Amino acid sequence: PKYVYDFTEGNKDLKDLLGGKGANLAEMTNIGLPVPPGFTITAEACRHYLGHGRMPEGLEEEIGEHLAALEARMGKRLGQADDPLLVSVRSGAKFSMPGMMETVLNIGLNDDSVIGLAKQSGNDRFAWDSYRRLIQMFGKTVLGIDGELFEDAMDDLKGEREDTELDAGDLQRLVEIFKGIVRERTGRDFPACPREQMDLAVRAVFDSWNAPRAILYRRQERIPADLGTAVNIVAMVFGNMGPDSGTGVAFTRDPGSGRQGVYGDYLCNAQGEDVVAGIRNTVPLQELEKINPAAYRELLDIMATLERHYRDLCDIEFTIERGKLWMLQTRVGKRTAAAAFRIATQLVDEGLIDMDEAVTRVTGDQLAQLMFPRFAATAGNHRLTTGMNASPGAAAGRAVFSSERAVELAGQGEAVILVRRETNPDDLAGMIAARGVLTSRGGKTSHAAVVARGMGKTCVCGAEELEVDPRARRFTAPGGIVVNEGDVISIDGGTGAVYLGEVPVTPSPVARYFEGEPAEDELVEAVDRIMTHADSVRRLAVRANADTPEDAARARRYGAQGIGLCRTEHMFLGERRRLVEDLILAATPEERQAALDALEPLQTGDFTGIFAAMRGLPVTIRLIDPPLHEFLPDLTDLAVKVAVAGDAADDRDRRLLEAVKRLHEQNPMLGLRGVRLGLTIPGLFAMQVRAIAAAARQVEDARAEIMIPLVGAVQELEIVKEEAERILAEAGVAAAIGTMIEVPRAALTAGQIAEAAEFFSFGTNDLTQMTWGFSRDDVESAFFSRYLDLGVFGVSPFESIDREGVGRLMRVAVEEGRRTRPDIKLGICGEHGGDPDSVHFCHEIGLDYVSCSPFRIPVARLEAGRAAL
């Protein structure tokens, strides 16, 4: 294969091969922008090197040919003594990994060529500055010497002076000191041979792919580990040649707000990393207009060209050498969620993209971020530190340092923030009780992060500046600030910020918009336009999982086109518990019927409210699903109560205890629940169906659908259906009858089940549990973070549908269900219904709708639109 591409040979679409930096340098070269010449060694060469432990056959020669062409073009050879060509050796993977990998500048300098460079440039100081930079960067990144040794040596020499105040003599002395450090640390001299410098640097860039911090970063950002990095060899241009030179970074628009304008920093008489390293204070890019008006105008022109070409916000790195502008990097820039929406619609208004494209430029995750409540004004609060933004939201409460204490204080009605070094499965109860979770260790796949995201709980993790002392029940923040148990702190899961004291929380403008407030600010207007377009292109309908009239009404405001899952179990809790107990304790059919008769009007009331809130839209009601003992008192509590009371124990308590013992199950998830309950307890399902029918008769335009849970065989469904149809017919009510597909057997026999089912709704929570054979409650806190670290899966199968396993069962069910009943309606009501990737999957396999919690409806609408484009 071809391992080396000249910049004139590549283009922006070759990121897999050339990496992002190389592909875009090639693109800029080809659209005629001033890029110093150079070439790219492919990521494929890197993969070969990392896999085999040596460079691929022929690579050295190929690099030699391209280097020779570069030398011919520049009219000088690499490191030539009287007039050296210098190059940079720059890493550049497919996905940007800021600061994770290495770059070495000024390759080609040695004791001879530094003199040549000084003569040619007429600038001694510049030549020695470049040489000391080479030894410093090369020493650190290629030879693995601690960078602080060089920095300390330079600081010693500088004293009180700025680095620009060092003269040629100082810098020459520094070169000697640096060479001494290299000799002392590596036992050999700094390599003088230019080609050897280059080859070693290339190798170091390849190796940096597997540096521990790069590995960690990839794991957190879910970047595949086997891509490798390309290497770019670029002719040097010099920003450190004097006051008419400099280097800078810029965005074509504000990545925070999306506003158009000039956003960037510039540093006079400096090279490369100086801007970000904070060696001297940079000036705002606007100042360049005064320093060098011609270069400034050219830069603005180029930024406009790049925006038109990439049709998106770009960020750039540039250098000015004696007044001449050079482009050193560009890419489509990262941006905040708010900016993503603003920029997408701005680009439409500027005629650069159409609305279809605008919808694909934003994501459901970004929309979700904009919907979370946020801190109103943080100005009055001291920011203690910033950790990783592991799970969004804003939370304030008293700091607590153990799970027990969290549960205790929350039980007294206190808002608490659980603070731990890291969490483990024992902390689960505390995490549930807390408003938010803060840890000082661990990244975005740590236990705290995974579990908090799963629970939708605000979490900041890896706040390494905090010293957490659980035993003393306090943590120490930078500046020696001590936060003791009970002190109030506030954490921002969107930014990772941690504040002292209580920061007030407000709903976001975007959430208020979905609640029905008019779109008055620019961001909300952008969201409105994009949502409207997404709705017009999507094929999937979006329904809500809602079981109260309030939730149903909210879902409707958020754009739900019906209810995909109305659970009925919560309707049996509270004061109705006693009626359920009566049902379970019933000794005769008469007693049982009496209990059911008491429940029926209450159920009718429940359904009437929901039908009214969803008037005209379909409402899928699932008949009772969970095991009965969930409605009974806790076995231990009750046993203790009865034992303590002794002979005086209440007769009802004794009978209840018997019932609880009788109903106790080893594996309730796989026990007597769902349709199994309906077939075991005569009259239970019938009561629910009668209530549905009665409610449907009371509400005009009620559209009931009755859903039977946990069906694994068509016979189960047939028995329930026959009875339900009889009741509906007697009441004169029409309602579709269908089933959940949540047991693997149901998916595998979907062709038969569709004979009896008018619709399927995939219950992907249970389907995932039963397909993998693990229960969510038990495994998420026990070993999921370990599994994520090991790469068993990239994301929890409870968050995003496991396409190969669970997804395969779904495909089978869709195909066979439709074969039996072509007009069968297909939906999903597991929590995956609101997960962006899962929504795309549901679109792909041809479902009719997704159903999710009311809060996720906008996300599902947007992603359904994106999936259709």
CA–chain centroid gap for 584, Å, is: 46
- Asked whether the beta carbons of 580 and 602 are under 8 A apart, the reply is no
Which span (234-242, 654-662, 733-741, 768-776) binds ligand ADP, by CB under 6 A?
234-242
Nearest to 442 by CA among 429, 457, 452, 432: 452
> 643: part of which helix (H) or strand (E)?
helix 635-645
Cβ-based neighbours of 319, under 8 Å, separated by 6 or more: 237, 238, 239, 245, 246, 247, 248, 271, 272, 325, 326, 328
Residue 519: CB atoms within 10 A of its CB come to 17
State the pairing for strand pair 541-545/849-852. parallel
d(CA 601, CA 255): 57
Residue closer to ligand ADP by CB (options 105, 624) is: 105
Which residue of this chain has its Cβ atom nearest to Mg ion in the complex?
Answer: 766
Q: Is the dihedral of CA 233, 235, 237, 240 positive or negative?
A: positive
Residue 293: CB atoms within 10 A of its CB come to 10
φ and ψ of 761, to 5 deg? -130, 120
Which span (152-160, 374-382, 734-742, 801-809) binds Mg ion, by CB under 5 A?
734-742
| 3-state SS, residue 671 | coil
Residue closer to ligand ADP by CB (options 235, 864) is: 235
Cβ-based neighbours of 655, under 8 Å, separated by 6 or more: 585
255 binds, among ligand ADP, Mg ion, none (CB under 5 to 8 A by kind): none
- Check binding of 28 to ligand ADP (CB under 6 A): no
CA atoms within 13 A on the CB side of 562: 23
Which span (141-149, 228-236, 353-361, 785-793) binds ligand ADP, by CB under 6 A?
228-236
Residue closer to ligand ADP by CB (options 9, 265) is: 265
* Interacting residue with ligand ADP among 234, 527, 583, 842 (CB under 6 A): 234
* Interacting residue with ligand ADP among 24, 245, 329, 545 (CB under 6 A): 329
Active-site residue among 268, 459, 461, 829?
829
Q: Which residues of 125-146 are buried (b: 16+ CB within 10 A; e: fewer)?
A: bbbbbbbbbbbbbbbbbbbebe
Active site residue 447: yes
- Asked whether the beta carbons of 647 and 683 are under 8 A apart, the reply is no
Mark residues 251-280: x for contact with ligand ADP by CB under 6 A, - for none. ---------------------xx-------
Shortest distance, CB of residue 778 to Mg ion, whole angstroms?
16
Residue closer to Mg ion by CB (options 317, 799) is: 317
Residue closer to Mg ion by CB (options 331, 703) is: 331
Angle among Cα 247, 248, 251 to the nearest 5 degrees reads 160
Shortest distance, CB of residue 759 to Mg ion, whole angstroms?
16
* Interacting residue with ligand ADP among 29, 42, 103, 764 (CB under 6 A): 103
Residue closer to ligand ADP by CB (options 272, 858) is: 272
Sheet with strand 481-484: strands edge to edge: 467-469, 474-477, 481-484
Which residue of this chain has its Cβ atom nearest to ligand ADP in the complex?
Answer: 272
- Asked whether the beta carbons of 447 and 785 are under 8 A apart, the reply is yes
* Interacting residue with ligand ADP among 33, 166, 227, 237 (CB under 6 A): 237
φ and ψ of 22, to 5 deg? -65, -45
* Interacting residue with ligand ADP among 40, 110, 319, 749 (CB under 6 A): 319
103 binds, among Mg ion, ligand ADP, none (CB under 5 to 8 A by kind): ligand ADP
Active-site residue among 447, 533, 832, 840?
447
Residue closer to Mg ion by CB (options 766, 835) is: 766
CA atoms within 13 A on the CB side of 847: 31
Shortest distance, CB of residue 425 to ligand ADP, whole angstroms?
39
Residue closer to ligand ADP by CB (options 99, 589) is: 99
Shortest distance, CB of residue 237 to ligand ADP, whole angstroms?
5
Shortest distance, CB of residue 524 to ligand ADP, whole angstroms?
35
- 643 by Cβ neighbours in 10 Å (0-12 / 13-18 / 19+) ranks as exposed
Residue closer to Mg ion by CB (options 24, 123) is: 24
CA atoms within 13 A on the CB side of 319: 20
Shortest distance, CB of residue 320 to ligand ADP, whole angstroms?
10
117 binds, among Mg ion, ligand ADP, none (CB under 5 to 8 A by kind): none
Residue 661: CB atoms within 10 A of its CB come to 12
Which residue shows structure tokens 């628009």? 253
| Rg value, the chain, Cα | 33
Active site residue 314: no
> 821: part of which helix (H) or strand (E)?
none
> 616: part of which helix (H) or strand (E)?
none
Amino acid, single-letter form, for residue 330: T
Residues between 513 and 542 with contacts to Mg ion, criterion CB under 5 A: none
d(CA 742, CA 640): 37
- Check binding of 625 to ligand ADP (CB under 6 A): no
For helices 194-208 and 43-52, the axis angle rounded to 10 degrees is: 80
Mark residues 781-800: x for contact with Mg ion by CB under 5 A, - for none. --------------------
Residue closer to ligand ADP by CB (options 201, 384) is: 201
- Check binding of 247 to ligand ADP (CB under 6 A): yes
Which span (67-75, 98-106, 109-117, 437-445) binds ligand ADP, by CB under 6 A?
98-106
Residue closer to ligand ADP by CB (options 66, 856) is: 66
- Check binding of 831 to Mg ion (CB under 5 A): no
Cβ-based neighbours of 171, under 8 Å, separated by 6 or more: 125, 128, 129, 131, 132
766 binds, among Mg ion, ligand ADP, none (CB under 5 to 8 A by kind): Mg ion
* Interacting residue with Mg ion among 10, 393, 763, 834 (CB under 5 A): 763
State the pairing for strand pair 314-321/563-566. unpaired
201 binds, among ligand ADP, Mg ion, none (CB under 5 to 8 A by kind): none
Residue closer to ligand ADP by CB (options 78, 328) is: 328
Mark residues 56-95: x for contact with ligand ADP by CB under 6 A, - for none. --------------------------------x-x-----
- 408 by Cβ neighbours in 10 Å (0-12 / 13-18 / 19+) ranks as middle
Shortest distance, CB of residue 25 to ligand ADP, whole angstroms?
10
252 binds, among Mg ion, ligand ADP, none (CB under 5 to 8 A by kind): none
Mark residues 312-351: x for contact with Mg ion by CB under 5 A, - for none. -----x-----------x----------------------
d(CA 171, CA 493): 46
Which span (176-184, 230-238, 786-794, 860-868) binds ligand ADP, by CB under 6 A?
230-238
For helices 836-844 and 364-371, the axis angle rounded to 10 degrees is: 140
d(CA 91, CA 233): 9
328 binds, among Mg ion, ligand ADP, none (CB under 5 to 8 A by kind): ligand ADP
Binding site for Mg ion (CB under 5 A): 317, 329, 742, 763, 766
Active site residues: 447, 829
Binding site for ligand ADP (CB under 6 A): 36, 88, 90, 99, 103, 105, 234-237, 247, 272-273, 317, 319, 328-329
